[in-house]
Structure 1
């Protein structure tokens, strides 16, 4: 049975977890409030890739009376989470770090710091390169009898899905390098599984993105590229580890010397 001395540390950890969750939620709420005041400007920024392709008199529409309100609500919630992401990650690190050794802290902290930067980089790539190409492809189906009248809620759902997908794809090297750093996988394993990763990348891209070849290829190719970057950087980690711990390097098989007279 668990004694009172055993429950005290558990309660202390639960109390700390509750406090850090409260701080994270408060940060998200504050970010939401800040973005709500600029929700129209934020949505106009998100609409820019499409507006540049539409005619000067074309406008986006909403068919439900509540649709515009909830669209701005989603924009504010998404922006609030993005603004609060460093705080959330900092609270996560503050909760986990005391239970790690110094060597483990040196291993995990750089990867944690790179996480938001790579996520923003992936989202920026989607906004800058993928959106114009995908929207151009979609609008190519317009005819004199068929005009594009995009709904603001459907457009927001589309771009949020793509930005989230590309942001997560750019996190792939972080996850793989962390596994290599901890010794859970090796670059040799990643190389052997490369063909499966290529197939999986296109399957995932086909499920996440709209059913058009451009956005699927634009997501699958970076996934494969991030995989190769992880292999390249992982080799450097393995070489450094082999230099620091020569005893952990695998021994090469040697052929016995021929006996005299053979």
Structure 2
């Protein structure tokens, strides 16, 4: 008669891998934090928090009436707001390094066909987010702020608060950065089988309606900003459909490829 296996003996070997995973996760998180901290220190030295905020505020300041300046309502706002801008800039600059640490932690547990899907999506999503932020800063702000200022009554002295402006900029950057992730979302939904390519094509008109609603909610109340977000979202949706076809074809699991060939 064989002895009854002891459950504690069966679980004894699983503790060490779990602890090692936790240690590796801690090391990856520390490396990500160190990277952000190093870039923060460099940006604090040059060009400096004040200069970074001036750069961020340039599109608005250029649109203000001559002689007008932004104001700081809070007592410590002139100190804290530039520090926040520096921290956000450091995180944005270190984002590829942070995502690399995430990838290095997750990749060993993925199959090769999964790695062929995840790695390009991580790189593409990062580049698209940067593109959305740059598009917002260099094009949308340059068109929207003059249009908004032209609507201000002549009896009103326009002097925006620096903290309110930072909140607005963060909202806009996130809106455009996330909106430019439309191709990645389409590829993921199609690859997971949530929707088919045919369904994505048939959803075009509904997507344009939804995109128009989103653009109207997150952008300033001017037609330029709304159209500047709506048109790229629609074009990127089409890019996502074509990219989904490519990824579905080249990231199949071995059993899926064998099943398709038989």
Structure with larger RCO (C-alpha < 8 A, sep 6+): 2
Alignment of 1:49-68 (within 5 A): 49-68=59-78
Shift of 1:28: 1.8
Q: Is 2:113–2:251's contact at 8 Å kept on the other side of the alignment?
A: no
Match of 1:74 among 84, 89, 113: 84
Match of 1:199 among 185, 190, 209: 209
Task: Show the counterpart of 2:41.
Answer: 33
Distance 1:127 1:67 in 2: 23
Distance 2:97 2:58 in 1: 29
Compared CA separation, residues 199 and 246, structure 1 to 2 (3 A): farther
Query: Could you tell which deviates more after superposition, 14-23 or 196-205?
Result: 196-205
Q: Is 1:201–1:224's contact at 8 Å kept on the other side of the alignment?
A: yes
How many residues align structurally?
249
Distance 1:226 1:70 in 2: 37
Q: What's the secondary structure of 1:52's corresponding residue?
A: helix
Distance 1:65 1:241 in 2: 55
Verify: 1:132 aligned to 2:142, yes or no. yes
Shift of 1:235: 3.4
Query: How high is the TM-score relative to the length of structure 2?
Result: 0.84
Compared CA separation, residues 111 and 95, structure 1 to 2 (3 A): same
Q: Is 1:107–1:181's contact at 8 Å kept on the other side of the alignment?
A: no
Distance 1:147 1:162 in 2: 24
Alignment of 1:1-262 (within 5 A): 3-37=11-45, 38-237=48-247, 245=257, 248=260
Shift of 1:10: 1.7
Distance 1:16 1:247 in 2: 37
Distance 1:143 1:211 in 2: 16
Query: Could you tell which deviates more after superposition, 212-221 or 151-160?
Result: 212-221
Shift of 1:210: 3.5
Shift of 1:211: 4.2
Compared CA separation, residues 26 and 140, structure 1 to 2 (3 A): same
Compared CA separation, residues 159 and 236, structure 1 to 2 (3 A): same
Task: Show the counterpart of 1:252.
Answer: none
Q: Is 1:206–1:216's contact at 8 Å kept on the other side of the alignment?
A: yes
Query: Could you tell which deviates more after superposition, 171-180 or 161-170?
Result: 171-180
Distance 1:120 1:161 in 2: 15
